[in-house]
Amino acid sequence: MNTQSDDDFLDFFEEEDPASAKKRNSFWRLLIVDDDTDVHSATTFALSNLDIHHRHIEFLHAYSAVEARQVLAVEKDIAAILLDVVMEEEDSGLKLVKVIRGELGLTDVRIILRTGQPGYAPELEVVREYDINDYKTKADLTRTKLFTAVTAAVRSYDQIRTINISRRGLDIIIKASTDLMALHGLQSFAVGIITQITGLLGLPPESLVCSQNMSPEEDGEDLIVVAAAGHYESLLNASVDTISDPAVREALHRCMKERRSIYEDNYTCLFLSGQTKHDMATYLDLREPLDTIDRQLLEVFCGNIAVGLDNVALFSELNHINQNLDNLVKLRTEELNESLRKLEYANEQIVESLQYARKIQMAILPPLGEVSEYTHDHFIIWNPKDLIGGDIYWLAGDENGFLIAVIDCTGHSVPGAIMTMIAGTTLSRVASELGPSDPARILERMDRLVRQTLSQNREETESNDGLDIGLCYVRKDGMVVFSGAHLSLFVLDASGAREIKASKQSIGYKSLVNKQASFVNQEVRVEPGMNFYMFTDGIRDQIGGEKGIPFGKNRLLQILGSVRELTMAEQRQAVLEAFENYRHNEAQRDDITVFGFRLNQ
């Protein structure tokens, strides 16, 4: 359960408007629409230090729906709107939403509704009927929730804008590939390059593209600007040698001469190579140096653009030599089919490897016959999210009883499976050394060994992995001794369900390295009619149902309680049917393990 201090709630009080000393494009613009001046002051104060992608917030203010409409008609680069519902009228905010989306056509801006009177605008009805992105009540709005809501809205706005910019660039490139006029096609293609690169890097379009002149007159020096944007716009169709800025001129000539891209702190010059010797260079102003990831993305981009550049040149040549287009299409088709065959082969290899890994993982699980030797009746549901997963169950016995474990490791698929190997071998080693009768002591030793195995005591170690585990030792004298690390034991009998709670401490995790693990044993006397269950959080957290909410612990216990007197095999079937009906078309979210058993008492 989350706890909140008094400081965490958003207090509404007067605050002076902060002065803005940066340019508009270095901020995310946030419009606050509310008739309460205290709300404006408190919101500005709460978000004044918010940094999203190295950009702070610039606040715009409107104190009525009418005033907000005037602001929105002028300002076109607003990322998000914090909009009050009740202002001049009970539904002023809702009416303004329709104006924003319909009349003003602002589909990119993200809208977060806030209301102090939720009764006037029920949340489910508003979310269903209006094109908004979030709905908050002021009474529940904490600084943390406000930070989260605004951050998510701004990121969504940024992604939508980036997608739209990229789409415009792709449209221009597609148009260029169909043009028959060489000069027109080349310029359209170059404009598309500027649009895509600036959209990819999130930069203003301050760029130009030059190309070797299509006429075979002079080679090397005859570079023409075929696309230009921003303060370079006046250079369109000019020779590179006429550019007044010597740094730009020299960078373009150097890029084309050395046939490679150049990266400097304040600019980059990208070389686009075409097999038809019709090369291009793109000069782009930078606000800050590009990091490694951005450079790698640009190299991939340039490699893909090279194919498009060849297509532009080929279409230009078709206007003069009338080659057979079918041959070119067949060539491209063969290349695509070959790539597809390679992808299919790689996928087959991956699937075969995972299937083999599944056999290995299943081999370390206790055989069902071995489980039956210890319990009067039992059932097991083991269903990884992928072919392999991060859940396992484990069993070992001695002359006085037997030990059952259910383990939930971090990660799914291959990472999760590797963690289960560590967990299984560690548990086997500790149980062999200490014996299986003291679950709490076993967990304490496991915690130390897992940390040592993953080198989590070293500062440079990046691994922050671990596991949750429930350990249940069943003594022959009719006593069950349980200890768990974030995974509880549930006992069902005629009186209902009872949870034998586990420690809140997990096993491993670098983030918990300074916390001393402490586990205790809890004993339960076995009585006739008792059933015992341990399960991982995969079944509990599965989304589904009409409301799209988690399956939940209580729902599972209700199902188990209703079939408590049936055989364990029948209980397993009931749980699986209820789970699948609830999940319906939703994808499985996590690995699932449920272990139920009944003792002969």
Give the pLDDT confidence score for residue 576 in this predicted structure.
Answer: 94
Q: In this structure, are 437 and 514 located in the same domain?
A: yes
Give dist(CA 569, CA 375) in Å, integer. 13
Angstrom CA distances, 449 to 410, 423, 443, stand at: 16, 10, 10
pLDDT at 63: 94
pLDDT of residue 298 exceeding 90, the answer is no
Where in the sequence is the domain holding 359, given as residue range(s)?
324-363
| Domain assignment present for 251 | yes
Mean pLDDT is lowest, of 204-218, 334-348, 444-458, 529-543, for 204-218
Residue 462 phi, psi (nearest 5): -90, -15
Whether 554 and 588 map to the same domain: the answer is yes
**Dist. CA 113–CA 153, nearest whole Å:** 12
In a domain, 455, yes or no: yes
Q: Are residues 350 and 463 in the same domain?
A: no
Per-residue pLDDT, 303: 72
What's the pLDDT score for residue 541? 92
Tell whether 298 and 396 lie within a shared domain: no
Is the predicted pLDDT of residue 18 greater than 60, yes or no? no
Between 591 and 515, residue with greater pLDDT: 591
State mean pLDDT over 437-449. Answer: 94
Confidence of residue 599 (pLDDT cuts 50, 70, 90): confident
Average model confidence (pLDDT) across the chain: 82
Query: Between these two residues, 491 and 48, which has the higher pLDDT value?
Result: 491
Residue 171 lies in a domain: no
Structure confidence at residue 509 (pLDDT): 86
- DSSP codes joined into one string, 521-543: -EEEE--TT-EEEEE-HHHHT-E
pLDDT at 263 over 80: yes
Of 287, 321, 355, which one is at a domain's C-terminal end? Answer: 321
Whether the Cβ atoms of residue 69 and residue 146 lie closer than 8 Å to each other = no
pLDDT at 600: 72
Tell me, what's the pLDDT at 12? Answer: 36
Predicted confidence at residue 53, as pLDDT, reads 85
Instruction: Give the span between the Cα atoms of 89 and 78, in whole angstroms.
Output: 24
Global pTM exceeds 0.75: no
- Asked which of 9-23, 53-67, 276-290, 359-373 is least confident by mean pLDDT, the reply is 9-23
What mean pLDDT comes out for the span 568-593?
Answer: 93
Percent share of the chain, pLDDT over 90: 37
Q: Is the pLDDT of residue 301 over 80?
A: no
* Domain identity same for 348 and 399: no
Q: For the chain, what is the domain count? A: 4
Residue 513's Cβ-side half-sphere holds a number of Cα atoms within 13 Å equal to 17
Dump pLDDT digits (tens) for 223-259.
Answer: 888 888 888 989 988 899 999 999 999 999 999 999 8
Whole-number pLDDT of residue 317:
63
Please state, in angstroms and rounded to a whole number, the distance separating the CA atoms of residues 543 and 541.
6
Which tokens go with 177?
Answer: 């590939």
Residues 436 and 385 in one domain: yes
pLDDT per position as a tens digit, 351-395: 888 888 888 888 778 877 777 788 888 999 999 998 888 999 999
123 with 211, same domain: the answer is no
Q: What is the DSSP-derived secondary structure letter of residue 399?
A: T
CA distances (Å), 349 to each of 338, 345, 356, 527, in order? 17, 6, 11, 52
Binned at pLDDT 50, 70 and 90, residue 219 comes out as very low
Same domain, 310 and 331: no
- pLDDT at 322 > cutoff 70: no
In a domain, 168, yes or no: no
pLDDT of residue 6: 39
- Among 161, 189, 210, identify where a domain stops: 161
